[in-house]
Amino acid sequence: MAPRILLARHGQTEWSLSGKHTGRTDIPLLDEGRRGAKLLGERLHRAPYDGLPGVEVRTSPLSRARETCELAGFGDRAAEWDALMEFDYGAYDGLTPADIQAIRPGWFIWRDGVPDGETLAQVSARADEVIDWARGADRDVLVFAHGHILRAIGARWLGYDISFASRIRLNPTSLSVLGWAYGEPALESWNETGHLGG
């Protein structure tokens, strides 16, 4: 079996709800985010996933991802990994895109990056590190992380430049699966949120 990566984005936080870039600031889950994490866990413990026996689990060490992992029922199997931390937004951490546009008209994160934070090349290299790890053994992996790093992983899995991540949005508490089609890397599913209802 060729390895797949299952990507779980953390639950809703105050900053994700308001559209603020949330990088290394450790914002906790809202009650809505905790509820979503439990629903995600219920989905992963039903068919076709059936609790993912044998899967290797890793999580960002930031509390919003770690708590999502725990509430989904995978905390006892998860190892924390700094490679899964969110994009370091530097001076733009805590700002909305509108706030940044007021400072820097025409700004686009996937082209222009951020001041005093990570470069796009550094984020891309972290995404590649996750992919290399996932492809390094004959088993599926499940990761709990953040919107922009997971989008970067999706872009790089497909062999695209990190800028492709702008075209594959992710909602809080979504589930995505990166797999294979005809021997080539493919999106099996992306940004699924049916487990959240409504």
Eight-state DSSP code of residue 5: E
φ/ψ (deg, to 5) at 52: 50, 60
**Tokens 């995505």, located at residue:** 176
Binding positions for substrate are 22-23, 64
Tokens for 10, please give them. 């953390």
3-state SS class at 70: helix
The rounded distance, in Å, linking the Cα atoms of 192 and 8 is 10
Helix, strand, coil percentages in the chain from 3-state DSSP, rounded to 5 = 40, 20, 40
Q: Are 127 and 156 in contact (CB under 8 A)?
A: yes
The answer to whether residue 86 is catalytic is yes
List the catalytic residue out of 67, 70, 86, 118: 86
Tell me whether the omega of the peptide bond preceding residue 3 falls within 30 degrees of 0, making it cis: no
Tokens for 16, please give them. 């994700």
List the catalytic residue out of 10, 21, 146, 148: 10
The answer to whether residue 10 is catalytic is yes
Active site residues: 10, 86
